[in-house]
Structure 1
Amino acid sequence: MTGVSTTCPYCGVGCGVIATPDGRGGVQIKGDPDHPANRGRLCVKGAALGETLSTEGRLLSPMIRGQQATWDSALDEVAARFSQTIAAHGPDSVALYVSGQLLTEDYYVANKLMKGFIGSANIDTNSRLCMASSVAGHRRAFGSDTVPGQYEDLELADLVVLVGSNLAWCHPVLHQRLMAAKAVRPALKIVVIDPRRTATCEGADLHLALAPGADAHLFNLLLCQLADQGHLNPDFLHHVTGLDAALASARISTPAATGLPPADLAAFLTLWASTERVVTVYSQGINQSDSGTDKVNAILNCHLATGRIGRPGMGPFSITGQPNAMGGREVGGLANMLACHLDLENPTHRDAVQGFWAAPAMATQPGLKAVDMFRAVEDGRIRALWVLHTNPAVTMPDADRVARAIAACDFVAVSDLWPNTDTARLAHVLLPAAGWGEKNGTVTNSERMISRQRGFAPPPGQARADWWQLAQVAQRMGFAGFDWDSPAQIFDEYARLSGVAGTLGSDFDISGLVGTAYEAFAPVVWPQAAKRGGRFFADGRFHTPDGRARMMPVTASLPAAVTKALPFRLNTGRVRDQWHTMTRTGMAPRLTQHLGEPYLELHPADAAGLGLAPASLAEVSNSHGRCILRVMISDKVQPGHPFAPMHWTGETAPTGRIDALVPGLTDPVSGQPASKSATVAIRPFAAGWYGFALSHRDVTPACDYWAEGRTAGGIQLELAGQVAPEDWPAWASALFDLPSPSAMVSDPAQGVHRMAFTSHGKLVAALFIARTPVLLSRAHLTTALGTTDLSVLAGRPAADRPDPGPTVCACLNVGLNTILRAITGDGLMSVDAIGAALGAGTNCGSCRPELAALLSRHSHREAAE
């Protein structure tokens, strides 16, 4: 069958994908060599998309209070409850909480409905959690939320600074482009600024292990050096205001605040100051802070002061976390913005949009941002809530409190693919949504490139597109102007509105795309004016009232000190092979083999002080919540600053919901939560037993700790509890809902129990119990489900079958032990040599930093010997 050109549904890189259905329900996925964002490359998540398209467990019909319903009855219910709530309590008593997973056309309809017809700006998006501080910083400095540069600037630069960005894991294809450029041009320097030593550091010339939260101090010091050593650009500064005030504030910062060795600090300041073509890439490590906007402006100040902006190979570059976070920003999906980068608080802008929409009740002031929105749900100011394509009961800070608020809300509708997410379980009405590969529309990536997402499979059951659901509710509420037949019509309306915005001075004007052949739509970067070359601001023209950029005075701060009761500051983030709350990536078995359960990465000194051993369990708590996490001991984190990933939910690891620990502390300008600075207490979890289980079907363990991951034949489970059952075979039979074990090895004195369960001679479940963390070859065991091999009770392969070890290369399923054997036995000395011998790192390249780290550790070990 013919391949369909579409875009990846994961990060903000916006990679082009060619999806080719095989006619038997499967889909072949490959990178699109003609898409400018990735040029054929895909990371392991993108490459595994074909493994995530099962419709098993999908929400296939509307549900009202747990009962199957028709679309008419469900839509009528949503429209009636919203209308009744507005009539009784006013338009601000309802809200939409949307997502960067929406396509731009979906976002446009939601924004139009809420701000122009309901008459409230209570619409916000989970993108508030990842890039709102960048939006606010851009608007303060440029007068508009404009990303100045292009991806190719990373390849054209002489210095790329990655600050608060683990690019190798979170935006792998962009990191691959950067590393390929460095391989061709070794003089290109890369600096990573991050308290953690991440995978991105493996390819860097310099890693600055900055004191957590000290980013604004560092860039204030840089601004001072630029001024003191004659590196300012007086010609460009004619287009900039605020230099003196910014410098005065910057001089308050001191080198000691950065926590950096003086030599490293001096090297960075000198390198940045003396390099004309410099790109500063920043992401969540900057944005997710209670002073994130100031950190953004501290970076922007340095580029504005030197005029290093908007020209090839130079500029500040915000990299977004979601596939359509930029599209949401463009369409006004945030509570404090209006469509097409217009200003909600500007009467002229409001009037223009209201006139274009023929809207009856235009919102006149910003709505509630995400954290405040759920506070309003909690205290009853918001009484009707519609959540689309996101899972706030897991992902919001203070997640337990948010879940309780949603559960107590008078009316909650949820549009999603799945009926069993933590949020969907709290809904009164569930609306089945079309997912990736089933829906059509556009997305905008981090460099302002608009691309098509195209469907290549029919939505299962009664699932429908989000724009259709929103438009149907709008019509049922009595609103005109929502009678589109296709997303192409919505895009055309949106592009026409952008032409109106352009006449008002907005940077966002894509009216040249009106009438574009939608099905043949090719990726395009705005602005379309060729003289700009896809970049903004090199000409010194900004979107402020006087046309000049604004340098902002930044009084740098540090996070509040830890306390005796809560002595650790918890950093949170992502892992390489998972995405958000794993509703998609969790379905691909190979993506669970790299890091398969929630963990706490602790410095060795912290672990020793707490009495925590590798692979033991730690209880992490504060007044907001409690988690139980697997202990990973590593010197990649700083003492006192552990790290935990954010992907696990009540469906996959109930005690691993890390955002339950994050307080609702936000940046006062952007409203973005400070997701990386929760203070916590840590203590050993007193496990009386540990376990590992395999099952050919889903099960729900009754124990204190469990974490689930997919395998090729079913699921795998990590287990632990404080009190051991008296009868392990009976406990196992109840867990798997199976008769007595078919085979069993037990040593009660040592607390060791191993059981295998078969059906028709084939292994359908197994359980391994010990008093200490269970040491097994998990990679070997997961291949045994569905086979007649009962040697699994040994826990490891036979002597003639080497244990591959934990997965490092998920694309080609190459394990750690296999790689180490090749390094030591075959004398492999480079990542390319490992690739030639084993294939590892030759497909998507996401594991190359880990391969480099393995080689480095091995060479250091040999030198020590």
Structure 2
Amino acid sequence: MTLSVADPTVRTTCPYCGVGCGVLATPDGSGGAAIAGDTEHPANFGRLCSKGSALGETLSLENRLLHPQVDGVQASWDAALTTVSDKLRAVAETHGPDAIAFYLSGQLLTEDYYVANKLAKGFIGTPHVDTNSRLCMSSAVAAHRRAFGSDTVPGCYEDLDEADLIVMVGSNTAWCHPILFRRMADAKARRGTKFVVIDPRRTQTGQEADLFLGIRPGSDVALFSGLLVHLADNGFRDRAFVDSHTAGLDAALDRARAIAPDVAAVAAATGVPASDIAAFYDLFAGTRRVVTAFSQGVNQSAQGTDKGNSIINCHLITGRIGETGMGPFSLTGQPNAMGGREVGGLANMLAAHMHFAPEEVDRVRRFWGAPRIVTGEGMKAVALFEAVARGKIKALWVMGTNPLVSMPQADRIREALKGLELYAVSEVMADSDTVRGLGKTTVLLPALAWGEKDGTVTNSERRISRQRRFLTAPGEARADWAVLSEVGRRLGHDRAFAFSSAAAVFREHAGLSAYENNGTRDFDLGALTDISDAAYDINLPVQWPIPKRSGPKGAPQGKARLFGDGRFYTFDRRARFVAVQPPGLAQAVSEDFPFVLNTGRVRDHWHTMTRTGKSQRLSAHRAVPFVEVHPDDAAGLGLTEGGIARLRTEHGEAELEVMITDTVVPGGLFMPMHWGSAYASKARVGALVRGVPDPVSGQPELKATPAALEPVAYRARGFLLSRRQVALPEGWWWARASITGGWGVQFATAASSSAVALMVRGLIQSEALAGFELAEYADHARDRYRCAVYDGARLVACLAYAPAEARPDWEAAKALFAIEEPEAAERRALLSGRAATASAGPVVCACHGVGADVIAATIGAGAGSVEAVGAACKAGTNCGSCIPEIRKMLTGETARAA
């Protein structure tokens, strides 16, 4: 598809995961946009997942931060930036520049990241610049550097199309990278590609596997050490490649033998039957084209770097790297985690994939003209926030991330922020947990959101794509790179921060990557150093490295794969085998904390829901925070499906709805990461996890925290639907979700029905629902209450309350609420609790809004396959991330029919 100059459609890139899908956005002139996949983008070829498809539903200005604030009071940009600049200068003069820290985000564009890193490390003189990518991909970075001498992802997405075996380790790809999973599924259908899934939890990806290995948390190193031994001892070593292009095999192999001498030892360490281990080893050994895709289950670990290197070791010994359809492949979690790595957004990097060797420091100093260039590593995320708690960090600038939800020991961090002399937050939303944090001086800076900002992002296959503006800047929001540049100028560095556009920042970034490079560093954008503003505006997605000499007449032609020539970025150009440490859990379970808590994502939400929480489609699939519990454990604890449980660790607690499932093993629990205090009463995952850091990468353990679980008895359950957000009383359990026409809150409470009726009357007398008409049904003797609130004929709110064992279902009420002006029968249905119209049931397919009841009816009518279900009701025909659920429903309905 080629867009004409007059076409209002804008070609941009999705702001969610690291797949980096191309998006076509067509503004509607009213602040919204129609969204479609870009058929010409090589990451997705027009496909979008449920989140990408629903981007148009997330563009509202509701709860946006639109004006600067200083200590809670709206201020001018001049006043806000004067406060920031003066405080930074005062802290540096009084306590030294290393009392200042920046905490950045993979949500930032590369240009934002570049200016932040340059300002901090080159001109303020603080090394303490880290990013939420520390929680995401830093162990993969460290593993790459140890093995390859550089943070290089060797392969590309085409390898997933061409592999004969794909091993997915700690990656629920079907839900977390759905577009890549569809490419894998296409390869399975086309060429018979086999899937092996390795995960402590039988995720939706695991349900699609040819072989599933449900290993114990933390035992990945034992599994892949055993594989290395198997490959070495059974004639699968590529001797020519190992001898010519690698070093360190003997030491790595000796360590692997000590950890996992045979299949029996691996079975004992992992808890997986020896027959399944042997089947995996034979499949890996006998298949040349193997891609091993790993993600957060590997990285978010106290031993994440060693896990990554144990995987890479197995590819090196077989020479399966840098060629079509083979190689280790780190699947990035965030849209620009890779771009942040490119510019040095991690505390242990400088810029342009350079680090802190004296010659590299000097090179960056000369290129930047930097008067205060840092000469060593800064504190990584966990240590950085510990330093805030100790008072060592006096000024902190957080950009585009929500650490009070996502960081380990988040409650402790919230308290620590109060001691800061400057707490600056560049943010899109006005109600995030992190915006609510308070230092002695708190400055909130309104940032541009997706659709409003311009720049670049780099996806998991090293492909640089443009995010382009198609909406006007709302309120006083500004680009992050421009705000940082203004602070740099106010600190006296006019020339270094005289950027006039995102394109100007990108040119300098490209120039640094090529500066004194000559092929010695993997990251090289030399061919884009002189890119014009016009070329930047239309620049097509391209993979790095793109050295100056690449392509005819300098046309940028990136490289899809690296290391196929056996040359790496170590001093001797050989890859390194790494002798990894024996596996061990970060913390042991105990009598007080007998469970192991795993954490992760759900299909339709992203990070802390500041964007996806606005979409009713995305909120329908999983509307409340939950904990997955094995049926045996649930029975022993007296837990019921849909009941509420208190999940406790040594560091905090949460209250979550119970989901009983055999996808977790006995003794294992799973909790999603998304719900902060804007969307739930007590569900912040960061408050529970300890986050023991990996000793090499500094990435904290988020997948294996000892925990306890117990039922919580509330008197009643219910829901409140309203056109705008309404706060519920302190002490209630609640979870908020976007619905058609407004917001829905599911709640649990110890209050009686009569007390709830009084609360509703109070809302009508308050600003929340002032002066509207109230219609009620009350049976206080049976502890039941329903009401509807009207503004004339328009329904503005409704509430249902019943004893917990008779919990009211909100699906029919949501359908009625969407009508806005219900007829008499529908009004009666709201008060009676009886559906006036049929409900589609809980949403299974978010792309097309198809509910479970519709799919069940379709199966009952004779649809006997995923394809038949899709043909009848469209479910599963877009991104396919709901296909595992549809397949499970097919199995269940078939069993019931039999």
Name the TM-score class by shorter chain: over 0.9
Mean alpha-carbon deviation: is it higher for 735-744 or for 282-291? 735-744
Matches of 2:560 and 2:848 in 1, distance apart?
37
| CA 1:725–1:532: 2 relative to 1, 3 Å | closer
Mean alpha-carbon deviation: is it higher for 349-358 or for 256-265? 256-265
Q: Please state if 1:457 is matched with 2:495.
A: no
Matches of 2:602 and 2:44 in 1, distance apart?
21
Match of 1:787 in 2: 821
Matches of 1:664 and 1:832 in 2, distance apart?
43
For 1:144-293, list aligned pairs within 5 A.
144-185=150-191, 187-238=192-243, 239-251=245-257, 252-253=259-260, 254-255=265-266, 256-293=268-305
| CA 1:235–1:796: 2 relative to 1, 3 Å | farther
Matches of 1:793 and 1:270 in 2, distance apart?
63
Match of 2:3 in 1: none
CA contact (8 A) 1:438 1:456 kept: yes
CA contact (8 A) 2:646 2:653 kept: yes
Match of 1:611 in 2: 638
Q: Please state if 1:441 is matched with 2:455.
A: yes
| CA 1:601–1:773: 2 relative to 1, 3 Å | farther
Match of 2:740 in 1: 712
Matches of 1:159 and 1:664 in 2, distance apart?
33
2:563 maps to a residue whose letter is F
Q: Out of 322, 339, 345, which is 2:334 matched to?
A: 322
Q: Please state if 1:668 is matched with 2:695.
A: yes
Q: CA deviation at 1:201?
A: 2.3
Match of 1:778 in 2: 810
For residue 503 of structure 1, give the secondary structure of its aligned residue in structure 2: coil
Matches of 1:73 and 1:233 in 2, distance apart?
64
Q: CA deviation at 1:522?
A: 0.5
1:386 maps to a residue whose letter is W
Match of 1:722 in 2: 750
For residue 632 of structure 2, give the secondary structure of its aligned residue in structure 1: helix
Matches of 1:213 and 1:131 in 2, distance apart?
17
2:545 maps to a residue whose letter is P
CA contact (8 A) 1:777 1:805 kept: no
Q: Out of 817, 835, 842, which is 2:870 matched to?
A: 835
Q: CA deviation at 1:829?
A: 0.8
1:576 maps to a residue whose letter is R
1:686 maps to a residue whose letter is A
Instruction: Deviation per CA, 1:710-745: give whole Å up to 9, x if none.
Output: 111111111112343653311223356446973333
For residue 408 of structure 1, give the secondary structure of its aligned residue in structure 2: coil
2:572 maps to a residue whose letter is D
Q: Out of 107, 110, 134, which is 2:113 matched to?
A: 107
Q: Please state if 1:557 is matched with 2:583.
A: yes
For residue 746 of structure 2, give the secondary structure of its aligned residue in structure 1: strand
* TM-score, length-scaled by structure 2: 0.94
Structure 2: tracts of 5 or more residues without a match = 1-6, 552-556
Match of 1:493 in 2: 508
For residue 691 of structure 2, give the secondary structure of its aligned residue in structure 1: coil
Q: Out of 432, 451, 455, which is 2:446 matched to?
A: 432
| CA 1:741–1:720: 2 relative to 1, 3 Å | farther
Q: CA deviation at 1:687?
A: 1.1
Mean alpha-carbon deviation: is it higher for 461-470 or for 60-69? 60-69
Q: Please state if 1:848 is matched with 2:848.
A: no
1:728 maps to a residue whose letter is V
Q: Please state if 1:21 is matched with 2:27.
A: yes
Match of 1:303 in 2: 315
For 1:351-430, list aligned pairs within 5 A.
351-427=362-438, 428-430=442-444
Matches of 1:109 and 1:549 in 2, distance apart?
33
Q: CA deviation at 1:262?
A: 1.5
Instruction: Deviation per CA, 1:120-144: give whole Å up to 9, x if none.
Output: 2100000100111000111111111
Q: Please state if 1:341 is matched with 2:353.
A: yes
CA contact (8 A) 1:768 1:774 kept: no
Q: CA deviation at 1:571?
A: 0.4
Match of 2:672 in 1: 645
Q: Please state if 1:55 is matched with 2:83.
A: no
Mean alpha-carbon deviation: is it higher for 359-368 or for 842-851? 842-851
Instruction: Deviation per CA, 1:795-816: give whole Å up to 9, x if none.
Output: 3423xx3321100111221110
Matches of 1:533 and 1:26 in 2, distance apart?
37
Q: Out of 786, 795, 799, which is 1:754 matched to?
A: 786
CA contact (8 A) 1:501 1:508 kept: no
Mean alpha-carbon deviation: is it higher for 716-725 or for 311-320? 716-725
Q: Please state if 1:96 is matched with 2:102.
A: yes
Mean alpha-carbon deviation: is it higher for 415-424 or for 156-165? 415-424
For residue 464 of structure 2, give the secondary structure of its aligned residue in structure 1: strand
Matches of 2:834 and 2:664 in 1, distance apart?
32
Instruction: Deviation per CA, 1:605-649: give whole Å up to 9, x if none.
Output: 110011000111000112211100000000111111110101011
CA contact (8 A) 1:200 1:849 kept: yes
Match of 1:631 in 2: 658
For residue 859 of structure 2, give the secondary structure of its aligned residue in structure 1: helix
Q: CA deviation at 1:68?
A: 1.2
1:804 maps to a residue whose letter is A
Q: CA deviation at 1:501?
A: 5.2
2:188 maps to a residue whose letter is K
Q: Out of 613, 634, 648, which is 1:621 matched to?
A: 648
2:607 maps to a residue whose letter is H
| CA 1:408–1:860: 2 relative to 1, 3 Å | farther
Structure 1: tracts of 5 or more residues without a match = none
Q: CA deviation at 1:102?
A: 0.5
Instruction: Deviation per CA, 1:759-785: give whole Å up to 9, x if none.
Output: 213322122112225544423211322
Match of 2:543 in 1: 525
| CA 1:336–1:321: 2 relative to 1, 3 Å | same
Instruction: Deviation per CA, 1:400-445: give whole Å up to 9, x if none.
Output: 1111112332210000111221111225101110110111101000
2:501 maps to a residue whose letter is S
| CA 1:412–1:500: 2 relative to 1, 3 Å | same
| CA 1:740–1:75: 2 relative to 1, 3 Å | closer
**RMSD of the alignment, in Å?**
1.5
CA contact (8 A) 2:604 2:621 kept: yes
Match of 1:679 in 2: 706
CA contact (8 A) 2:339 2:457 kept: yes
Mean alpha-carbon deviation: is it higher for 762-771 or for 107-116? 762-771
Matches of 2:516 and 2:395 in 1, distance apart?
32
Match of 1:472 in 2: 486
CA contact (8 A) 1:14 1:444 kept: yes
2:368 maps to a residue whose letter is W
CA contact (8 A) 2:294 2:330 kept: yes
For residue 788 of structure 2, give the secondary structure of its aligned residue in structure 1: strand
Instruction: Deviation per CA, 1:679-717: give whole Å up to 9, x if none.
Output: 111111121221211111111111331110011111111
Q: Please state if 1:544 is matched with 2:570.
A: yes
Q: CA deviation at 1:82?
A: 0.5
CA contact (8 A) 1:495 1:511 kept: yes
* TM-score, length-scaled by structure 1: 0.97
For 1:70-81, list aligned pairs within 5 A.
70-81=76-87
Instruction: Deviation per CA, 1:316-340: give whole Å up to 9, x if none.
Output: 0000110000000111000000111
